[in-house]
Structure 1
Amino acid sequence: MAGRRKMPKLDRIYLKCDRALCRRTVKPAYTCRVHGNFREYTDILGALKNWCLLWVTLAIIPITIAVHTLKINLSLTYLSFGITTNSAVLPIVLSLFWGRLTGSAMVSGAVGGSAIAVILWLALANVYPGQWVDNLTLNTPSLAGNLVALVAGGLITCVVTCLSKVVKTDDEVWEVTRDIDNPLSPWTELYQKDLNLTGAYKLGMRPSLGEVEETFRGANRAAIISSTFLTFVLVVLVPAAMLGANVLSMEGFNGWVWISKLWAFAATIFIIVVPLVSEVMQILRVSRENRVSPIEAGAFSTDSDGGGDHTVSAVDLQSVF
């Protein structure tokens, strides 16, 4: 701002020391005019992330106990979840390859496909004799609901996109995408070696879409080949092998059930214990770092040129005095 008096270098260093040493909830503000607000935002997110993951992980246990106590039909819950979310699969896939795709088309496909699939699922369950709720778990209504959700979501997305007047090129989409960047760690610096960038520290030194595609052409081919191979194995090869198998004996069936149970228990323990332990270790590590003084660590941040936060060692601090 014109006419604004610049803070002396020594005062800015003291402010950085005060912020790092401060134990209050509201800390002194960052003085960098370029990255200050972004650093405050990332500090808030970093503090919330660990605690949110910890409490969500701990909440899995009482939720599981409540579901077991209330005797909720997990098969019906699983089927309803798949039917209501499959409509978003093709819109998400199209967002990776179709530059003209619009956000309203994706929302319309996901919501519209889910609504059509649920209506068809409930209607087919009503056709069969017996309890209507039990019929919801039958193979035919479930298969029809999932297929309709998948196909309808993609068709609605394509139709709404084609009817829209918005026409975007791949280069325009690429520019919008790479504008979503972290100013403290720009993607040009992260991919400087891969893209052979000589001035990655400059904001204007961003390669074009064609240069990025040419650089990662090998990785793109590897991803396409591996995904195609895995799709063939999981969708064609494994089901074909199961169709050719004979009827299991009682011993073979018991062995298959026990393997499935062990696999399920191991997966359950892993997804509950590992995130919990990881987040606890992360919280303890951050707590230890917060107890260390920046002067004891030998470095802290300042923005001596007003253009960004830089690391200043204890030797630099002595030079200021």
Structure 2
Amino acid sequence: MPDMLSQYRRYEDELLHYKSWCMIWITIGIVPYGLIILNSGVNLNWVMFTLQGVLNAFPFPLLMTVVWSKCTAKAVITGSIMGAFAYFAGVLIVAELVYEGGLGNFLTNTSADYSILGGITSAVIMSVSCTIIISLCSHNIKTKQDADRIWDKTLSIDNPLNPWRYIYGEELANINVSENTKINTTHMTKIFRNARILAVVGGLISFVIFGVVIPANVLSLEILTFDQFSSWTFACQTWVMIAAAFAIVVPPVEEIVQIVRFYIRNKSNEFLNKEENTLSGSMQSLVDIN
């Protein structure tokens, strides 16, 4: 066991070393790469619109790998590729049929609003449909035990230097799981029940706000006045500042809280050990006297 831990420590150090050098070279290389793209005459707006549209073919298949045990690798790969092709097909069809000049005015029409909307809609529908259909045709799950076995595979992915069972020791103790009990998906579901509810509710609220309320409000205003535009930009800036503050402040605060909790627990364990040693020493002295 110690030999395995030393090998894993060496492996982890090599990965961290490799990651650091990758970050350095990417940071150095991105500047000349950007200058080359800028001087090549490529329409950066069209590239950004196209990239953002193509990426919509990938989130939903990846999401299914997390929430659906019957999702297969073939389905995810095929669904993502077909979704990307569907995006380009949707953009080209809408640009040709809706806008004046069709594909003759390629850069302008293929980056127009309805073209991008048609491409994104096609990408999402195609990727989701292919992923679901292929998964249903290729999965090997017949019973609930088969599904649990699939999820249990993720529990075998662990860091022996910092086992996840130790990380979630307090949560496992709250649901009365002993050290000799084999952890399964039922235990993890109980631990993350509140987090799952919060994620689902928060996701639905975010979808309603950003997918329904805001687009409907914007579409109702054909031409924004100066005051309306100022209000819109102020709302966007406020939201970005709140999101940035949350992303910057919350992670270090959580780490500090975890450090303080572990410090207090270690000090408490140290005090208990001293008390036990003192008590055992006193008992040994009484035995020696007798």
One-letter amino acid of the structure 1 residue matched with residue 190 of structure 2: E
Q: Which fold has the larger relative contact order, with Cα–Cα distance below 8 Å and residues 6 or more apart in sequence?
A: 1
Q: TM-score, normalised by structure 1?
A: 0.63
Q: How does 1:1-321 map to 2 (within 5 A)?
A: 32-127=2-97, 128=99, 129=101, 130-167=104-141, 169-196=146-173, 200=179, 205-244=181-220, 247-249=223-225
One-letter amino acid of the structure 2 residue matched with residue 238 of structure 1: I
Count of residue pairs the alignment pairs up? 232
CA deviation after TM superposition for structure 1 residue 181, in Å: 1.1
What is residue 271 of structure 2 aligned with on the other side?
none
One-letter amino acid of the structure 1 residue matched with residue 156 of structure 2: D
Q: TM-score, normalised by structure 2?
A: 0.69
Task: Provide the rounded CA distance (Å) in 2 between the counterparts of 1:116 and 1:242.
Answer: 27
| SS state at 2:3 partner | coil
What is residue 284 of structure 2 aligned with on the other side?
none
| SS state at 2:42 partner | coil
Map Cα deviations across residues 97-123 of structure 1 (whole Å, 9 max, x no partner): 111111111111111221232233234
Structure 1's 46 and 179: CA in aligned 2 closer, same or farther, altered over 3 A? same
CA deviation after TM superposition for structure 1 residue 170, in Å: 2.8
Task: Provide the rounded CA distance (Å) in 1 between the counterparts of 2:6 and 2:50.
Answer: 46
Task: Provide the rounded CA distance (Å) in 1 between the counterparts of 2:234 and 2:138.
Answer: 52
CA deviation after TM superposition for structure 1 residue 250, in Å: 5.4
CA deviation after TM superposition for structure 1 residue 240, in Å: 3.2
Structure 1's 250 and 210: CA in aligned 2 closer, same or farther, altered over 3 A? closer
Contact 2:71 2:135 in 1 (8 A): yes
Identity %: 23
Task: Provide the rounded CA distance (Å) in 1 between the counterparts of 2:8 and 2:163.
Answer: 13
One-letter amino acid of the structure 2 residue matched with residue 159 of structure 1: I
Task: Provide the rounded CA distance (Å) in 2 between the counterparts of 1:181 and 1:161.
Answer: 27
| SS state at 1:56 partner | helix
Task: Provide the rounded CA distance (Å) in 1 between the counterparts of 2:134 and 2:44.
Answer: 35
Structure 1's 33 and 150: CA in aligned 2 closer, same or farther, altered over 3 A? same
Q: Gaps (5+ residues) in structure 1?
A: 1-30, 275-321
Task: Provide the rounded CA distance (Å) in 1 between the counterparts of 2:94 and 2:222.
Answer: 32
CA deviation after TM superposition for structure 1 residue 244, in Å: 4.8
| SS state at 1:166 partner | coil
Kindly report the root-mean-square deviation, in angstroms, between the aligned alpha carbons of the 2 structures: 3.1
Task: Provide the rounded CA distance (Å) in 1 between the counterparts of 2:105 and 2:125.
Answer: 29
One-letter amino acid of the structure 2 residue matched with residue 141 of structure 1: S
Task: Provide the rounded CA distance (Å) in 2 between the counterparts of 1:70 and 1:256.
Answer: 37
One-letter amino acid of the structure 1 residue matched with residue 167 of structure 2: L
Contact 1:113 1:153 in 2 (8 A): yes
One-letter amino acid of the structure 2 residue matched with residue 160 of structure 1: I
CA deviation after TM superposition for structure 1 residue 256, in Å: 7.6
One-letter amino acid of the structure 1 residue matched with residue 56 of structure 2: N
Structure 1's 176 and 150: CA in aligned 2 closer, same or farther, altered over 3 A? same
CA deviation after TM superposition for structure 1 residue 210, in Å: 1.3
